Structure 1
Amino acid sequence: MDLGLAGKRVVVTGAGRGIGLAIVRGFVAEGAAVVAGSRRATKELAELDGVTVVEVDLADAAGPADLIAAAGERIDVLVNNVGIAPPRTHGFLDVTDNMWADTWNLNVMAAVRATRAALPVMLAGGGGAIVNTGSVNSRLADPLVIDYSASKAALASFTKSLSKEFGPRGIRVNSVAPGPVATDLWLGDGGVAATVGAAQGIAPSDVEAGAKAAMVTGRFTRPEEVATLVLLLASARIPNVTGADFAIDGGMLTAL
């Protein structure tokens, strides 16, 4: 299927690894020109043709606008992917104001700021598409990631509100909601499995097995699968889809 993304100019936040890197690779394979925002220019990004890497701290209030400015006078697609998911293994009462603020800042405000900077460029160009990386935890509240869950619920609401305001002006806004994905965020050193395992006195592999058991497919989603969904939503193949949140979670969510 030709997604019609060749020649499109795309901005991706949190592009250095995991889902973000897979998204960048997907757009490059489709012939798009990608401006990749990352705290550092990773080897994986540097190896890709057609990618402009912008080293930027998206937790800084000026960072998202700086990234958008680096994209120039045309943006066809914005993917708000950057985020953090710190496990709170000691419970809600140990989650400080600063922890809440850090999670909210990167998971919500980075998307708000990047979108606020990109929309005038998109509108001047006649339209575009925005895809936000959410989470099943926007609907599947989990005390282990209480601040993360709340932030992703806010991002889903932000997505819906934007779609209503800017849909009539040619800009579609959607989100994807992954469950556990096979990236370092979950499975790497210091990732969710290792952190939770250390807190509970069990092996990270046991935490991983428990997460797999919560999905009817019995496996983690691959980052490339999330990227494929993002690319489809960014394309013009389904132009009447906006304001939607698409779960890609191996059947973890059971409610309609």
Structure 2
Amino acid sequence: MNLGLAGKRVLVTGAGRGIGMAIVQGFVAEGASVVAGSRTITPELEKLDGVTAVAVDLSDPEGPAQLVAAAGDRIDVLVNNVGIAPPRPQGFLEVTDEMWATTWNLNLMSAVRTTRAVLPVMLAAGGGAIVNTGSVNSHLPDPLVVDYSAAKAALASLAKSLSKEFGPRGIRVNSVAPGPVATDLWLGDKGVAATVSAATGLAAADVEAGAKAAMVTGRFTRPDEVADLILLLASDRIGNVTGADYTIDGGMTTTL
């Protein structure tokens, strides 16, 4: 399927690894020009043709505007992907205000600020597409990631509100809600499995196996599968889809 993304100018946040890297690679494969924002410019980003890598701290309130300015006066697609999901195995009472603020800032406010900076560019051009990387935890809250769940629920609500305000002006806003994805966020040395293992004494492999068992497919979603869904939502192939939140969780969500 030709997604019609060739020649598009795309801005991706949290682009250095994991889902963000897969998103960048997907757009490049479709012939798009990508501005990739990342706290650290990874070797993988540096070697990609068609990518302008920008080192930026999106937890800094000034960071998103700096990234958008680096993208220039044309942005056809924005993917708000940056985020963190710190596990809280000790429970809600141990989550401090500072922890809440850190999670809220990077998962929600970075998207608010980046979108706020991008919208005038898109409005001047007469349209555009915004896709937010959300989480299944926005509708399946989990005490293990209580602050992350709340922030992703707010992000989904934000996307719906923006879709209503800016849809009549040619800008579509959608979200994807992945379940566990095979990235360092879950499987790395400091990921969810390792953190839960350290707190409970369970082997990290058993934590991973338990997460897989919660999905009817019996496996984690691959980063490229999330990226493919985001590319489709960013394309005009489904140009009348806006305000939607697409779940990709291997069947973990069992309710309608």
Where do 5+ consecutive residues of structure 2 fail to align?
A: none
2:44 corresponding residue in structure 1: 44
Write the distance in 2 (CA, Å) between the matches of 1:85 and 1:46.
26
1:141 corresponding residue in structure 2: 141
Write the distance in 1 (CA, Å) between the matches of 2:240 and 2:33.
24
1:114 corresponding residue in structure 2: 114
Partner AA of 1:124 in structure 2? A
2:193 corresponding residue in structure 1: 193
Q: CA deviation at 1:255?
A: 1.1
1:250 corresponding residue in structure 2: 250
Write the distance in 2 (CA, Å) between the matches of 1:221 and 1:19.
10
Q: CA deviation at 1:47?
A: 1.0
Moved over 3 A (4+): none
What is the TM-score when the length of structure 2 is the normalising length? 1.00
Q: CA deviation at 1:144?
A: 0.5
Whether 1:156 aligns to 2:156 is yes
Superposition pairs for residues 85-104 of structure 1, below 5 Å? 85-104=85-104
What is the TM-score when the length of structure 1 is the normalising length? 1.00
2:222 corresponding residue in structure 1: 222
Partner AA of 1:8 in structure 2? K
Please give the per-residue CA displacement for 1:39-72, whole angstroms capped at 9, x wherever unaligned: 0110000110000000000000000110001000
In structure 2, the residue corresponding to 1:237 is in which secondary structure? helix
Partner AA of 2:142 in structure 1? D
Partner AA of 1:208 in structure 2? E
Please give the per-residue CA displacement for 1:141-193, whole angstroms capped at 9, x wherever unaligned: 10000000000000000000000000000000000000000001100111110
Write the distance in 2 (CA, Å) between the matches of 1:168 and 1:56.
32
Write the distance in 1 (CA, Å) between the matches of 2:126 and 2:32.
18
Q: How many percent of aligned residue pairs carry the same amino acid?
A: 81
In structure 1, the residue corresponding to 2:2 is in which secondary structure? coil
Write the distance in 1 (CA, Å) between the matches of 2:170 and 2:152.
25
Please give the per-residue CA displacement for 1:92-132, whole angstroms capped at 9, x wherever unaligned: 00000000000000000000000000000001011000000
Partner AA of 2:42 in structure 1? T
Write the distance in 1 (CA, Å) between the matches of 2:98 and 2:182.
28
2:12 corresponding residue in structure 1: 12
Superposition pairs for residues 124-135 of structure 1, below 5 Å? 124-135=124-135
RMSD between superposed Cα atoms in Å: 0.4
2:210 corresponding residue in structure 1: 210
Write the distance in 1 (CA, Å) between the matches of 2:141 and 2:26.
30
In structure 2, the residue corresponding to 1:193 is in which secondary structure? helix
- The count of aligned residue pairs is 256
1:83 corresponding residue in structure 2: 83
